[in-house]
């Protein structure tokens, strides 16, 4: 496994496990499966003539969807990369074995030819 993948996997293992979900009422929270806060903002009343509420996050926003799915997406990607790295190693090992076997076959072919040379036919004038 390469260093970058190891770093990503370590960060994933340290993070709140997913899947995460958005909860919104008087405040906004992104929570893990056991209701752990991943991201939390508290609502507030803005002083002024409009009385708008504080920070809100639309749970349909693409960024919110990306954040909420990041742990499970990253876990899947890490697993897939690990599978591909195993496949690549297996293929590389098999290729190396085939190269070694090919080299042995060539050496055996040379040895057989030396033991049993094939006589060459000389051209005749009859042709």
Q: Is the dihedral of CA 58, 59, 60, 63 positive or negative?
A: positive
Residue 39 lies in a domain: yes
For residues 28 and 57, is the Cβ–Cβ distance under 8 A?
A: yes
84-99 confidence digits (pLDDT tens): 999 999 999 999 999 9
Q: How many CB atoms lie within 10 A of CB 66?
A: 10
Residue 108 lies in a domain: yes
pTM of the model: 0.53
* Percent residues over pLDDT 90 in the chain: 28
Mean pLDDT by 10 residues, the chain (127 residues): 83 80 69 71 48 56 74 90 95 96 94 85 72
Question: Nearest-5° angle of CA 85, CA 16, CA 60?
Answer: 95
**Domain range for residue 84?**
3-115
Residue 123 lies in a domain: no
- Phi first, then psi, for residue 30 (nearest 5°) are -105, 120
Report the domain count for the chain.
Answer: 1
Residue 124 lies in a domain: no
Residue 54 lies in a domain: yes
List of residues 6+ apart from 44 with CB closer than 8 A:
53, 54
Residue 70 lies in a domain: yes
55-64 confidence digits (pLDDT tens): 555 677 666 7
Integer Cα distance of 101 and 93 in angstroms: 12
- The pLDDT value recorded for residue 127 is 56
Residue 122 lies in a domain: no
């Amino acid at each position: 496994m390469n260093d970058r993948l190891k770093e990503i996997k370590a960060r994933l293992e340290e993070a709140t496990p997913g899947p995460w979900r958005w909860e919104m009422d008087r405040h906004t929270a992104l929570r893990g499966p056991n209701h752990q806060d991943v991201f939390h903002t508290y609502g507030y009343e803005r002083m002024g003539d409009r009385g708008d509420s504080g920070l809100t996050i639309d749970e349909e926003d693409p960024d919110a969807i990306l954040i909420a799915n990041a742990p499970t997406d990253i876990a899947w990607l890490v697993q897939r990369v690990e599978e591909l790295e195993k496949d690549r190693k297996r293929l590389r090992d098999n290729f190396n074995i085939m190269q070694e076997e090919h080299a042995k076959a060539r050496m055996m072919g040379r040895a057989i030819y030396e033991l049993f040379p094939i006589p060459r036919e000389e051209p005749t004038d009859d042709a």
